Structure 1
């Protein structure tokens, strides 16, 4: 990826705490990530853990999560982009 873009992202995150960049990812990667995110079957209910045990508590967490996997081509491309930061 582009070092100039990474620098812009880093500076904004340090200074403002956020950044919005149109077309930061190429269209194909962005579309693939969006399609993946729309497929809820790949997401698991988020839990709460402590001392190695995980339990589900709907009164505290109702969200779903998915850990990105480097062996998935689309997710790997995004992880490579994020690693550059």
Structure 2
């Protein structure tokens, strides 16, 4: 998923989400304006959101559902009516 991002978008997203730096700290670390940090982060999140829209559950279909009713991949398989086979 991250491979779909540009290098600048990936840098900002990684520093904010994984290193948990503030926008100001990211701006200082990369020597860019804070507005550029916000713009790149917005673009990265939008690109990821668009890529994820192809997965089950994004169009009203909940996809696979486990016994607790949570959506996810690799959980109990149910038939069209939501019953366990």
TM-score class normalised by the smaller sequence: 0.3 to 0.5
For the pair shown, the structure with the greater C-alpha radius of gyration is 2
TM-score normalised by L of structure 1: 0.37
The structure carrying a bigger strand percent of its residues is 1
Larger RCO: 1 or 2 (CA < 8 Å, sep 6+): 1
